[in-house]
Structure 1
Amino acid sequence: MNCSDSSTDSSVTLRDFEEPLLSLAKGISGTEHMDAESFQVNVLSTCDIDPTNNNSAAQTNTNVVKIRSSFQDYQQLCDTFSQAYKLGQMNQAMAIANQAKGIKDALDEHFGDMRIDMGKNKAVQEQILQMQQKVEENQKQMMDMQHKMKENQKVMMKMQQQSLDRLVIIQNRVQAVLTQTYELHEYPIPRLFIILPKPMRLRDHLRKLFSNHFRLYFLCECGKHTEPDGCNSQHQVHLAKHEGYDIEQPTAFFNKYGPYILTLMEMFKYGITTAKVIVPTLSSLKLVEGVEAIKDNIDHTTKSIPSLVDEAIAFLESQLDNVSNIDAYSNPIKLGKTEAIEGADLRQLESYLRIKDEARVLGNLYRTVTTEGHVKWVCFDHYRETYKEVAMEQLRDIVAMNGGMFTDVIGKIEINITSRTLAKQFYDAMVKARWIQELDIALGWDATMDDLRKFSAAVTRANIIHLTVDGTSLTGPVSDAVNRGRRYDPIIELMSNGRIQFLRIKNFAKFANRVSRFSATKAPQLHILWIDSDIDFVEKGSKSVIERILDNSPHLVELKLNQLSRRTFYKLMTRITPPFSLNYDPWKSVWRSEYINFTSRVADHHYPVRDSLLRALPRHRRKLRKLHLDGTSVDAWFSDIAKALATRQEFPMLEYFDLSLTAIPKSYIPWLATFISHPVQDPSESFSKARMSVKFKPLKRICLHSIQLEHENWVTVIGAIDFSSIEELYFDYSNFSLELFGILIRSMPENAGNNLAIPLKILNIEITGVRGQGDTFEYLAGCLRKKAPFVKINYTNF
């Protein structure tokens, strides 16, 4: 055999198996550098061995073959190791590394044999030693990489868990938004919308025009409520077919709606499925089926919809991070805020949008009402699927024939019917259409009680929820004289049909005198009642009618009575017991479910009015839900109030307690602590069985505004709070301190019962001794969010 030929054909370089490791190491560290020296291993032939020992030469060649085979296996494992690492298959990579270690152990054994055989050949022995050293170095490098892989794996697992935690909290927030229900009077415009960046022109970049950078798009709220009978496909939330809106006053807009929009953007990206609503993930084509309508206003040529959504989310998160009183969204613990939107805020949304066509409804969406009475805004396609188009056309024609107005996008009709024949024709068409939610109707003929019964039946069958009825023409026909004292009973009975939420009774002459005492029944859905008709409250019958209505309207939040004087109001308030708390507005004569306001202005009024208020408070105590006490001179009225509010047991329905007072005498601290705590019913107490059966509602909101208390008094008050139900705590403008912040957190249990988190949503400690900075504050805030993950902390950061 020719030795030189043999050495040329059989050489193997370490670079063949070092380069994958080098690439892998660089991928892990990003900065480390490993030298890959070329080192040749010459396969030995018999000319390198002592010719007198042929057996030894044969054994040596056998070992060389084994070494070469091991090198080849080592090289393949390195390639496989590199591929597994790049694909993120960490478990497989670790298994390959263990196999490589086994090969290294085998090579060590072969090297030992070679050293024995090559004892007489120093040149070959040096090559073997160098080769062994190189394998040791490579093995050490692989072990280092294994260690780094394990560390990376821990980091990845931690990040994965954080992502899962974040996703769960996002899902909870989205669920809270989707399950929030609005009544008709609270929901004048669509509530689901997102923002997307629009293409920036050169002058926009130069000006950095904030408002031109984003555009608002509404979503169609389709779902179970829009699926026709027998429909096999599910209706899913999607973009409305509308070009969207530019945003006016963007800074104020994002400050007001930023957290809410971020929740909707995350819903748009990740999707969610509930019992009644399906929002597909962003990867689903159905979600962006309205993209054709918006593509001219987004940068769709260079960016995909997902990338635009990510850009919008990143922007919103950066905006929130820049606002001190809104928790950053980067930390999963801080994601717990349930950012819903109130009806009043929703009504203001339109003022921030640049609307070109004032006659069009926002987003080309149509308002619908579910069988539960909840409002949804859907696109025309889903609206058309839900309601019969032929019946709608017939209804439009009848309304036009009677000179009325039909606003189909919100399902509202305004009409004056002048005869019972036309009324029957209108009722039939309205019932068939099934789409009308608001009806403003004038009964333009002298209708009898039987006519009013037919009207009431049609309104009920048509599922009207917002009704205004004008009885100007109802003077009382002679033929209906027998029903004179109960002629308007059908109007009162409408309240109990299970659908009516808003009822306005206009211009019904001597209304209370023509309602029987048997007419008022339970009105389970009635929220707002306006009686713009003559009612003489001096008469006993009038007072009795109002009292029966209030007793049968457990969910009434607003009652408007026309032409009510201040004196009459106080007389009425002290004689009847409405099922809700009262707020008197002498200019509007409205009772609302807000607060009883004993402000210093009222309390310091002349004594007859003040005494009337104090007499009214005990009378309404059993149905009082919200109480606001506000004043400056504690001696002038606080002692009287404390006597009127002697025990919490006397106010079983109270949920909101607000106290704004600079100084509270120490003697009243036990009273305050007892009043804000959840009452403990003792059967030995001298309550009647009826009172003992009352289910007490715990407080949801406690506001101690501008309070200045001694430290030990603060501790007493904090210890009295029932954290199983409290949702809002306000200690703003008080001497509440960082130490008290810690005491407050320690007073909270680990959970609120049934393994549920504490329901606290708002903690307002603005303008107090707590500053929103420093390690101690951050630590305490983190502890609070562990116990109350949905809390939003409002604080002063300076």
Structure 2
Amino acid sequence: MWKGVQRFRYEQTVELLAVHKNKDTGEFYSCLDDIKTTFPDALRFRVDGVVLNFMRDGNEHMYTPRRIAHYPDDIIDVVCTTSTTSPFPPPPSYISGKSIPNDESADHLFPPSDSMDLPIQTLSIQPNIEPTTTTVASLEDVNLLVHPNPMAHAMQHLQAVLREQAASMDRELQMIKEQAEARDREERIIRNQQQMIDRLIINQQRIEAILVQNYELHEYPIPRMFVILPDPYKRWDPRNSLAERFRLYFLCECDYHSKDDVETTTTPIPVKNSLHLAKHEGYELSRPLEFFDHYGRYVLGMLQILKQCLAVATAVSPVAALTDLKDTMGGLKLISESTVEAVNMSIDFLQQRLGDKQGANSVNRTNAYTQEEDMFSDLAALDGSDLRQLDTFLRNTNADKVLGNLYRITLETGQVKWVCLDHYRQVHRDTAMSSFLESVEANGGTFDPQLSRVTILFKSSTSTKDFFTRLSKQASYVKSLRVTLDWSFSSADLAMLVNKIAQSNVDDLDLDLQNDDRPLSIISLIRFDKGRYHSLLGLLSNTKIKGLTLSNVAFIGPRTSKLPAIHRASLLQNLHYQGKIYSVDDSRLANIISHCPNLVDLRLGSQAFDSEGVPKVDKAIGSLSKLKVLHRYKLYPSSTRSIYAPPSIGRSPYGSVALQELVEVGLFYYCETPLLEAAIQRSSSTLEVLLLDFYRTPAGYVDLISPCKMLPSPSHVGNPSLFSNLTRLGLYVGLHPNSLILMASILPRLTLVQFGVDVRTSSLLAHVNPNPLKSLSVRSMAEDYNIGHFCRAIRLSSSLESLELGSIPITPDLLEVLKAIPLQRLDLDGMSDSSLLEVLTNLDVSQLQVLTLSRCKFAGVSDQVFTTRFTEFLNGFVLHLKVTRESVDCITIIKTSERWQAM
């Protein structure tokens, strides 16, 4: 037990409390005041039944406050004050209200039962008596007072209490006994483990001594560690020589090939990977008697090391300790039931052969380290000539170039080791991964080991090709990839990228092509750029990739070819296409989506543009039977002249399944509104995220409870499952009045972490539960009444981190709130110069990490705010300047310790 804490126990509760240290004496102790914070009724303390005295100083004065000594290896039992209910009958003086002299006999105190005849009206309880352990304080005591035979009842009560106390003491003694036995078992296990670890350390030191032998051994191409074990392929004929019953097996020298090569074990000290047999059937000995005379003592020492390694490994993981040997020696069970038994048989044979009686006796004495030193003294006796002669003793019928299927590696320290194929690959993986990460860093990229994610940007073909070549060969640990191609790449570059990713272990790819999306004529695309993106379709055939994000992709329709009908269905589960979708892209994206039937998460589109819609994409979305997350960003035109009734497309763009997330931004296609409403109503009990952000529909509103020509029914209002899973809700849309009433009734019981409204839904601010909110957004509000509810929600939120203000009036009340709330993120949109200056002047920026200004004039306030308040901003604070709220490209300014720096 760590000496910095003391274990205290009361009944079945055990608590660990930190101890104090006396500065003068260095003694550890526990303070009574500290103990009472956990055990308020603590009075005295015991260890193993012995009551502890409070500590005194050198003058025998009791410390103030009181303290008790530290017992790091014991649990201190807490003795609490007794209950106010007395286990004994009250004195007769309390019954009659009169005092009885202390020298009266027991006959006077407890007269015979037949002489006791006290009328009830003579009973009295003195009201001025302070509560003590003998004060009547329970109905049981009152019953005792009025019992017609108090003496008999008192004796029965006393006997019951004594029996209970005796039983409690027996239970406590039994518990103490069991705890002592458990402690003894634990100590024995720890001692045994420590002994095995100590022996293993000695073995490892011996192994290191072998591996750093002279230069001649360093250069000689042959493994240096080997043992003999019973031959599983030979019939055991008693007439044959015992020496012919053994085969030679090489060991993998895996212990020290990596400084981080440590197993996580249940032992108190980490243990490095123990030696194991190479995966090889072993070698027959051509001259066994001569071999044992020449190498016997060396092999005996190696067997002793292997035995102890197996003992440690078996204690940690019994199954794993035996697997390698049994796999290597398929017929071993014909000889013995375990590898340890086989090793023991070989040791016994060599000890008899060498007459090593002392060594035999030392095996059974686990603490006889001096004898073990003698036993292993011959381990380093081999020299170059010994090893050169070794292969002359082996019947190597296959003429192996490498003995024992072992591979030679050279460590950074210059050591040469022979390891099995698994450890050989591990060493190369570690070395290759280190080289790969150096390449990532050289290109300005980053690696997140927790997510196994590389994030990197390329500006040339050469660096891109080098990175992806290394990725396919050296980076087996990389699972997630975020790549930006910020240069004019060709179709051949994309083909290389797709091919190398297929050879890697990447299962989540985010590819940003940074392509120019200026309108191009179809003729120019056909003539100069057709097929540029076609290689990207090969990602759909990648069986490892489960998540694919394509960003800043322009005109994927004309730049790819249609997938064949026989194309194998993709295993993609997440597909995010974050780019403008034109009418010419409709067929191709629909073709891609239809080949991804396993999609769970689909997100399409980014910005507004002139288009006539994507009905084929809608139809493809409607066929996805596993879809749970659907985000659609401005897939339809914003101009009123483009709104028209399309032909029937056969399927809803929202499918027919219940969704968990639904985001619809920029919906202007009037025929979609009923389909959207149906999807919301169908998913009302499963939706976790709902964001609606658009302005114009012919009907002017969205109805969340279909169809409602009257007020919501009681079944709607009282239904506890209606939108009960919502955690993020944004309603920047006109709602039917009855839908507003419905949302107002259910908002108080929702635990939203993100909530957003605009002028059409701002009345809901009065009903939202503000306490769990982390992000709050309000746009286009013009009424001071709703601004007041907005300020109230900000004040009452206990965890608010992010705030969005879009074109709203700046009132004195709002300025006071912004001055008092330490936000981490703030988004300001469409503010005038004066309003922006007021907000930024009063804003608490002590915790602010990100500030986004959209459609705001930054130049007018930069000197007055960002220069004068420079020291108040955090280092690393980021300022984003956007032309529009939807802008992807923006100016980014970061605060360093000395100045503002544009990125």
Same fold (TM over 0.5): no
More helix by share: 1
* More strand per residue: 2
- Normalising by structure 1, we get a TM-score of 0.29
TM-score by length of 2: 0.26
